[in-house]
A and B are shown apart, each in its own frame.
Chain A
Amino acid sequence: MTELFLSAWEGLPEWTQFTAASVAKIVAIMLPLILAVAYLTFAERKVIGYMQVRVGPNRVGPRGWLQPIADVVKLLTKEIIVPTRANRFLFITAPLLALAPAFVAWSVIPFTDTLVLADIDVSLLFILALTSMGVYGVIVAGWASNSKYAFLGSMRSAAQMVAYEIAMGFAIVGVLMAAGSLNLREIVLAQAGAWGFIEWYFLPLLPLFVVYFVAGIAETNRLPFDVAEGESEIVAGFHVEYSGVAFALFFLAEYTNMILISTLASIMFLGGWLSPLPAAWVPDVPVLGALLGGGIHWLLAKVSFLLFCFLWFRATFPRYRYDQIMRLGWKVFIPVTLVWIVLIGVVHFTPWGFIVH
């Protein structure tokens, strides 16, 4: 049976093999990602519930485990309402515009040393370019809806994204100065060393790590930076007029972006798939050695922790006022990152240059 498949595979022309293999890899990334998004919504409701001293959803399935499935079914069976005076074409396109970059960015994420879909040299730049594309979905959605609230939401979101994109970019500049590469895989490898987690960039680049993560929260329009949605001020912001599947796509894009930001933060600052233990401590036994050594499970653990922080922030902090957001972005984050970039540059040429490699 296997030989039959193998010989059939060999018989295919090379481009077909390549395409089929790529599609298989894409599906292998997309499916777990969508599943992760579904269960992230569940985790969010549970974590926030627990922090508010209640239990969260627990009715659908054992301990509520099937809740996200029920939510998906509900959203898929609902009607998509297009407002009469809305721009029909843009109204339908906007969710796709928001979703596509969020997914495409995953093509360059290195899950382990060898597990990358496209190991391109400028993957960091590629991701920066794609995540800024996501804002078009929000702006187009707000404009196409022909609704005041949606328009206000998209305008706020646009201003916020511009403000935080710069701080985020500067934080990334610090990382690439330290690592000397724009390739995410090499950035992780530059953090490898004999001392485990002490070698990761989050210690020498701590301010940049904090700025990157907070700017990431602002980029994804999550609380406490969710003025683009602002339930209590402008109903639901840019997606007031969306329902059913179109709304679900926005939802999917937001949560995919959350996971993307967490993954990037763990790759750039928390050593990606590297183990936090010093190499000398990892015993050379079959199962335990693989578990304690580097591997995709460490990346997943780091991403889960950062995602938990997303939810934790949401449960803790009230929404920033609009001018406070602008102040934080322009007058705090950008100066802090600039100062730290200069500091990294200076330290490079001193005897202590090994601190930032």
Chain B
Amino acid sequence: MQSLKRFFNSFLLIELLRGMLVTGRHLFRPKVTVQYPDERTPTSPRFRGLHALRRYPNGEERCIACKLCEAVCPAGAITIESGVRADGSRRTVRYEIDLFKCIYCGFCEESCPVDSIVETGFNEFHFEKRGDHVIKKEQLLALGERFEKEIAAARAADAKYR
């Protein structure tokens, strides 16, 4: 009896029609596609994208060349050379991140005592020339200025969990 029922189910294409009903229903479902360049999926304030060096509100750069990030970096992507500025304060003369080595783990950000090196939510970057993947201090500071508002907002949103 059971096998007879199964035979008729498949012979009369009932199974197949049932499958087609499923796809037929999905034809009218609202679509889930996110039209990427126009629409974006929400990102967490903890998202770890491209790096940036921040400045204090008065324009002074935060980094004090303590080299903690260089030491903690598991990929060895950060290179720092320190020096004494004209006013006698200790600053970096060279701060480079090799983005090909970087694994975006966020340890540099965590280790930084002055919240200078941060990872922004920005993840749509590319390189057009060989060598561009090593980003210099000036570029990092420029990125910090460009994304300061987003960085500050993300830090504020995450502050109570720190």
Contacts and interface: CB of A to CB of B under 8 A. Distances in A.
Contact of A210 (B13, B19, B32): B13
Interface in B66-84: none
Contacts, number: 35
Contacts of B123: none
A22 interface: no
Interface stretch (A34-42, A48-56, A177-185, A262-270): A48-56
A210 B11 CA distance: 12
Contacts of A52: 26
Nearest to A316: B23
A7 to B, nearest CB: 56
A349 interface: no
Contact of A316 (B11, B22, B31, B32): B22
Interface residues of A, number: 15
Given A53-B31, A53-B32, A316 B13 contact: no
B33 to A, nearest CB: 5
A47 B27 contact: yes
Interface in A205-248: 210
Interface string B5-49: 000000101001001101110110111110100000000000000
Nearest to A47: B27
B20 A316 contact: yes
Given A210-B13, A316-B19, A317-B16, A50 B27 contact: yes
A217 to B, nearest CB: 12
A313 B11 CA distance: 17
Given A210-B13, A317-B16, A55 B33 contact: yes
A312 B23 contact: yes
A46 to B, nearest CB: 10
A326 interface: no
A14 B24 CA distance: 54
A254 B132 CA distance: 47
B157 to A, nearest CB: 31
Contacts of B27: 47, 50-51
Contacts of B24: 51, 312
Interface of B: 11, 13, 16, 19-20, 22-24, 26-27, 29-33, 35
Interface of A: 47, 50-55, 58, 210, 312-313, 315-317, 332
26 contacts: A50-B27, A50-B31, A51-B24, A51-B26, A52-B26, A53-B26, A53-B29, A53-B30, A53-B32, A54-B31, A54-B32, A55-B31, A55-B35, A58-B35, A210-B13, A312-B20, A312-B23, A313-B20, A315-B23, A316-B16, A316-B19, A316-B20, A316-B22, A316-B23, A317-B16, A317-B19
